[in-house]
Amino acid sequence: MRIALVSEHASPLAAVGGVDAGGQNVHVAGLAVALAGRGHEVVVHTRRSGRDQPDMVIMAPGVTVEHVPAGPPEPLPKDELLPHMPAFAAYLARRWATNIPDVAHAHFWMSGLAALTAARDLGVPVVQTFHALGTVKQRWQGAADTSPPERIAIEADIGRRAHAVVATCADEVRELQAMGVFGTKIAIVPCGVDLDHFRPDGPAVLRDGRPRILSIGRMVARKGVDTVIRALRHVPDAELVIAGGAPGDDEAGRLRELVAGYGLTDRVRLIGSVGRAEVPALMRSADVLVSVPWYEPFGMVPVEAMACGVPVIVSAVGGHLDTVAGCGVLVPPRRPRALTRELNDLLTRRDLRERLGVAGARRSRIRYGWPHVALQTESVYRTLISGRLDRFAAAEG
């Protein structure tokens, strides 16, 4: 198949860890390479965000990244990209008219808007993955949500017009159905993990003798790193390593002030962004990985830690309910006391840590390897192209 992946702000070539560079970038890159590995021709369309970016980049055998001229060729926050989607869609329509794809798979809501507009007169079926929903973001962030005010209405329209919608977890299915998206067009396909990269065996970063708690993620308030810091006050002797973001980030500054205010500077280290190649070794150095965001559409970091055989404690939200239940510990979001109890229990029970590590690694191998995820995604494409539109009913392959 000729497959067009549309990811307007999340380039598969971008360095992960910035404000708008995270799990979606990793997902699009991993899916593109895995689909190409199954013999498909994949083109990823992402917005040009630098004047020196070439029109096209060969990312891997069978995978080309095209930089779409839409808006100024400079980095822009994703919440400012909506006015540039007509130009993005016009570019896609021109490209697809001369080299029509068999299917277009849009990632994020603005990508869906552009893809549906471009495909309208060409007969290209469009699959939509939202990665995050405006209704959920608004529910948790309220006035702090910087999304365009049109987002929620546009997302509902995209969900109804897309030929198929890929949800990454069961919780998202419920949200989509509440938006008016028919369950018969929804399929569940989780995000994937590189099992050659994230695995239990391999080197680990050196550490001292203290129990190590690890937090990895973007430096944004909704990731809940402050909850981990507050919990650490009552977890004696343990150290907390926080990876992600850059030293000058506002959130990093806020967290440093919190650490100092609690007198934890000798037990907390903010180490900034860590390259993807170094992440598994950092994960394997930890006794437990903690990820307690307020909400989480999927949550790739806990799955990567599970693949490394590291036990995880996560907030009981979104995709965590699918990935971690039964092989990790779930806690309510924004509840440091509950997190303190679970950390103290887990850090004093080596047998439990070992059991959870083995269970997590097993689940990752069975459900979240990229070859399996690519096969499930390909099945959605083939079912859609074949015209069997009574098909998905939110079933996970």
Give the pLDDT confidence of 71-99 residue by residue, as tens digits. Answer: 999 999 999 999 999 999 999 999 999 99
E strand intervals along the chain: 2-6, 41-47, 56-60, 63-68, 103-107, 126-129, 164-167, 186-188, 212-216, 239-243, 268-272, 288-291, 312-315, 329-331
CA atoms of 293 and 327, how far apart (whole Å):
19
Contacts of 222 (CB under 8 A, 6+ apart): 140, 141, 293, 294, 295
CA atoms of 339 and 25, how far apart (whole Å):
29
pLDDT average, residue stretch 157-165 = 97
pLDDT average, residue stretch 373-380 = 97
pLDDT at 283: 98
Longest dimension (CA), the chain: 64
23: pLDDT confidence band, cut at 50, 70 and 90?
confident
Query: What's the mean pLDDT when you consider all of the chain?
Result: 94
pLDDT at 20: 46
User: Strand pairing partners for 314?
Assistant: 291, 330
Give percent of the chain above pLDDT 70.
Answer: 95
Type of residue numbered 146: T
- Cβ–Cβ < 8 Å for 225, 255: yes
**What are φ and ψ of residue 268, in 5° steps?**
-125, 130
Match 């980049």 to its residue by tokens: 57
pLDDT at 24 over 60: yes
CA atoms of 215 and 213, how far apart (whole Å):
7
Helical axes 170-178 vs 134-141, angle rounded to 10°: 100
Tokens representing 393 are 């009913």
> Residue 179 CA to chain centroid, in angstroms?
21
- Cβ–Cβ < 8 Å for 99, 2: yes
203: pLDDT confidence band, cut at 50, 70 and 90?
very high
Match 């699959």 to its residue by tokens: 127
pTM of the model: 0.90
Query: Which of 123-137, 263-277, 326-340, 383-397 is least confident?
Result: 383-397
What is the dotted CATH code of the domain comprising 2-192+369-386? Answer: 3.40.50.2000
pLDDT at 394 over 70: no
pLDDT at 48: 98
pLDDT at 397 over 80: no
Strands 212-216 and 239-243: parallel
392: pLDDT confidence band, cut at 50, 70 and 90?
low
pLDDT at 144: 86
181: pLDDT confidence band, cut at 50, 70 and 90?
very high
Contacts of 248 (CB under 8 A, 6+ apart): none
pLDDT at 388: 58
Helix (H, G, I), strand (E, B) or coil at 343: helix
pLDDT at 17: 46
Q: How distant, in Å, are the alpha carbons of 48, 150, 198, 280 from that of 305?
A: 32, 36, 7, 8
396: pLDDT confidence band, cut at 50, 70 and 90?
very low
pLDDT at 15: 53
Polymer length in residues for the chain: 397
pLDDT average, residue stretch 35-64 = 97
pLDDT average, residue stretch 326-350 = 97
CA atoms of 40 and 378, how far apart (whole Å):
10
Give percent of the chain above pLDDT 90.
Answer: 88
pLDDT at 19: 47
Q: Do domains 2-192+369-386 and 212-367 have the same CATH topology?
A: yes
Q: Where along the chain do its domains lie?
A: 2-192+369-386, 212-367
pLDDT at 359: 98
pLDDT at 16: 52
pLDDT at 218: 87
**Residues 281-317 pLDDT 10s:** 999 999 999 999 999 999 999 999 999 999 999 999 9
Taking domain 212-367, whether its CATH number is 3.10.450.50 is answered by no
pLDDT at 114: 98
CA atoms of 226 and 254, how far apart (whole Å):
9
67: pLDDT confidence band, cut at 50, 70 and 90?
very high
Give, for 392, the enclosing helix (H) or strand (E).
none
